[in-house]
Structure 1
Amino acid sequence: MVLVKELVMQDGVYYYRGEKYTGIGFVKNEKGRFVGEEPIKKGKIHGKRVSYTASGKVITREKFKQGKGIYRTYHTNDRIKSFGMIDGEIKEGVWKYFDRRGILKAEEFWSLEVPNQIEWEKFYRGGKIESELYYKMGILNKEVYYDENGKVLKTD
């Protein structure tokens, strides 16, 4: 068992003293409190990774297999805040974001085929689309805004 900050990450693989690490990596906050645990096998996160607030409340819960898994974050009322697929530290596919009541606020679409491209959709409380944003190479490329009835208000 080691602290994650003692590990070296290179190309998505954790190393400890020059060897691919296998074991539990613990995470502490700046006050020295335990706030997470990361199961690592042959240098990749493998198993259930959990992160906590300083008071011990779960804020993320993830299950990984050889570095790939589903990432989940939670609001303080234990409702899901966000979830999506992750490969190491890279988001993949559809990511969903929810408000404290569990209502869908936004979606992101990440593509591995087209690097540095993302689509972002935001929704009104009633579930209708509010806006669509398209990014390429980290730069906003296109914007579309809708009224609450779904009619296009503005396009840039």
Structure 2
Amino acid sequence: MNYFSVISVKHRIMKSILSLFFSLSVLTTFSQNTEINQLTSDGLKTGKWQKKHSSGELKYEGTFENDTPVGEFNRYDVNGKLTSTLLYSNGGKRAAAYLYNPNGIKLASGIYINQKKDSLWRFFDKEGVLFSEKTYKDGTLHGAYVEYYPDGKVHFQRTYKDGEIIGDYREFYPNGQLRSKKTYENGNPTGIVIIYYNNGVPKIVGKYNAGLKDGEWKFYDRRHKIVKTEKHENGAMIYTSEELISYWNDSLEIVRTREKFEKNGRSYLKSYYPTGELHREGYYWKGKKDSSWNYYAKSGELEMVRTFHKGKRQGNWTYKYPNGKVKSEEAWYLDRREGEYVEYYENGKIKIKGNYEKGNKSGEWQYFDENGVLLETKNFDLE
């Protein structure tokens, strides 16, 4: 082998060694670049990190620099569905957040500063429609707060300071009409409050003092006629006067009218037909009908008298036909029929006659035709 042949062989060997070294370097570099869940010599998280649920599904993935999150972080539920994306900046102190439901629809978006909600946050319903906008500072409501109807119209708006409502509060009907307005101080309503019907007519006008009802409160019907007055002192009602109260439908037609007042030291109520005639009247006991109640036809004729005891039917009851003739007579005891029952035809002849015991038909019952002729007899035995 001559000199030049030796040189050629050495050259080829050196070339192969260099090629192998380069290949190993590339593989080592590639391996280092794809490693995850690494720690620095100081034990700090660095590079790409992943964590999995016990089911094996990915729980989160993101990148750290010296234990500080940087860039994009994604979190997933146990089924592998994306639940949130956080975009970190400013040394991990700030994160733009996007939260999702299992169907991938955005539920909320906003900013975290030092892991606390800050600035404007938007919240969406399950269909992804904007539901509310809230402003935060250090994780606490601070600034404008607005909620919306599904069509985007404002439902209500208010302002917070350090978690407490301050200033003007406004609530609106779906048609955009103002529903109520009041003012807050230190988280409590104070001053004048007005609540409106959906046609813009005031419904209630009153005043708060440090969150407590104070002074005179007035209640109106849809035509702005006063129907009730209350007087409050330090949140306690010390006087109430209910006058003639009318109930209206959306077409401003009277559907019911009533009058409530004190009589013989007890609550007494009169209810009227839409056309103004007295319909019924009687006493109340703790919100329940009590004692005798009179029921009238539109003509003003007494149709029936009913007796109640603490809301339960009691005593003898008589029902009448529109012409005033008796339709039936029956007795009640603690809300159950008890004793004789008689039902009449409009010509005054008996139609049915029998007895009740503990709310059930008992003994012999007779059934007649319109001429008073007995048609049938039945016997009922209590078990």
- How does the TM-score come out when normalised to structure 1? 0.71
Q: Who is 1:9 aligned against? A: none
Distance 1:27 1:132, change over 3 A: farther
1:120 aligns with 2:145: yes
Structure 1 position 148, deviation (Å): 1.4
What's the CA shift for 1:134? 2.3
Kindly provide the amino acid, as one letter, of the partner of residue 145 in structure 2: W
> CA offsets, 1:81-132, max 9 Å, x none?
11112233132332111122221111112357xx862432110011011012
Match of 1:85 among 107, 111, 116: 111
**Contact 1:117 1:135 (8 Å CA) reproduced:** yes
Q: Count matched residues.
A: 141
Report the AA paired with residue 80 of structure 2: G
Cα distance between partner residues in 2 of 1:116 and 1:73: 19
Deviates more, 1:79-88 or 1:45-54: 79-88
Deviations 1:119-152 (A, max 9, x none): 3211001101101232222223353211113232
- 1:12 aligns with none
Larger mean CA deviation between 77-86 and 121-130 belongs to: 77-86
Question: What one-letter code is carried by the residue in structure 2 that aligns with 1:58?
Answer: L
Partners in 2 of 1:59 and 1:125 — Cα distance? 24
- With over 3 angstroms needed to count, the CA separation of the structure-2 counterparts of 1:147 and 1:80, relative to structure 1, is same
Point out the structure with the larger helix share: 2
Aligned with residue 74 of structure 2, among 43, 50, 61: 50
Q: Is the 8 A contact 2:171 2:180 kept in 1?
A: yes
Residues 77 and 100, structure 1, Cα contact 8 Å, conserved in 2: no
- In the alignment, structure 1 residue 146 sits paired with structure 2 residue 172: yes
Tell me how far 1:39 sits from its aligned partner.
2.3
Distance 1:144 1:37, change over 3 A: same
After superposition, where does 1:39-78 map in structure 2 within 5 Å? 39-65=63-89, 66-67=91-92, 68-78=94-104
Which stretches in structure 2 are left out of the alignment for 5+ residues?
1-36, 183-383
In the alignment, is the contact (CA less than 8 A) between 2:57 and 2:80 conserved in 1?
A: no
Compared CA separation, residues 27 and 154, structure 1 to 2 (3 A): farther
Deviates more, 1:57-66 or 1:21-30: 21-30
- The residue aligned with 1:101 is 127
After superposition, the CA RMSD in angstroms is 3.0
Greater length-normalized contact order (CA 8 Å, ≥ 6 residues apart): 1
Please give the alpha-carbon distance, in whole angstroms, between the structure 2 residues aligned to 1:60 and 1:140: 30
Partner AA of 2:164 in structure 1: I
Q: Which structure: larger Rg? A: 2
For 1:134, the equivalent position in structure 2 comes to: 159
Distance 2:143 2:56 in 1: 36
Give the 5 Å matches for 1:6-25.
21-24=45-48
- Matches of 1:17 and 1:135, distance apart in 2: 47
**Which range moved further: 78-87 or 131-140?**
131-140
Contact 1:23 1:40 in 2 (8 A): yes
Partner Cα distance (1:96, 1:137) in 2: 19
**Equivalent-residue separation in structure 2 for 1:32 and 1:26 (angstroms):** 12
TM-score of the aligned structures, taking structure 2 as reference length: 0.32
- Quick one: distance in 2 between partners of 1:18 and 1:90? 28
